[in-house]
Homo-oligomer: A and B are copies of this chain.
Amino acid sequence: MNLLLKNIAKHVTLTEQEEERVLLLTELQTFKAKTILLKEGDICTQSYFVIKGILRSYTRDENAVEHVVNFACAEWWMADMYSYLSQRPGQLFIEVNEDAEVIVLTRENQEKLYSEVPKLERFFRILIENSLIANQRRLINNLTFTAEARYDLFTKKFHSILPYLPQKQIASYIGVTPEFFSRMKARLLKK
């Protein structure tokens, strides 16, 4: 359970009482693969800190084609940030890719934590900042790199979970069809 506390400790130092509060206001839960934690149109009332397993977020376009937005493995957070922050219906699905153990933090409890442990304002601000930076970088990468280069970056970012990801999901994340991805991989192996 203290993986979350360890993670917080990387950015701010809490007293034992403050750590106590964090433990009390979060909850460890386990989910089987294929469980859907959030659907399009839902309001995202909780965020997930992954201890074990893999989560995945995606949207469906007007042709019902799924587009993977992100994966989260151990020590990553997952939520539909738009919906979570605005408390309005979002467009993301969040699904369990591999049997998972996650720490659940409700929006409500996060607000409580903000007032009871103000240092956490700083912690979450840093999280959001990092998330923003990662997003901007990915946007730039999508604009400037070819599918092959994007795949290369992907393998670096997610190498620890690579063998667990179906390649149609990887294809979707980097923005190509599964057919093209399959061909591309075959081409890369020849080199």
Footprint of B on A, CB under 8 Å?
A: 59, 61, 65, 67, 69, 81-82, 85-86, 91, 121-122, 124-125, 128-129, 131-133, 135-140, 142-144, 175
Contact = CB atoms under 8 A, between A and B. Distances in A.
A137 B82 contact: yes
Given A81-B132, A86-B133, A125-B128, 13 more contacts: A61-B144, A81-B133, A81-B136, A82-B136, A85-B129, A85-B133, A91-B140, A121-B125, A128-B132, A131-B132, A135-B135, A139-B142, A143-B175
Contacts of A143: 67, 142, 175
Chain copies in the assembled complex? 2
- Name the residue in A128, A142, A143 with the highest tally of chain B Cβ atoms < 10 Å from its Cβ: A143
Contacts of A128: 125, 128-129, 132
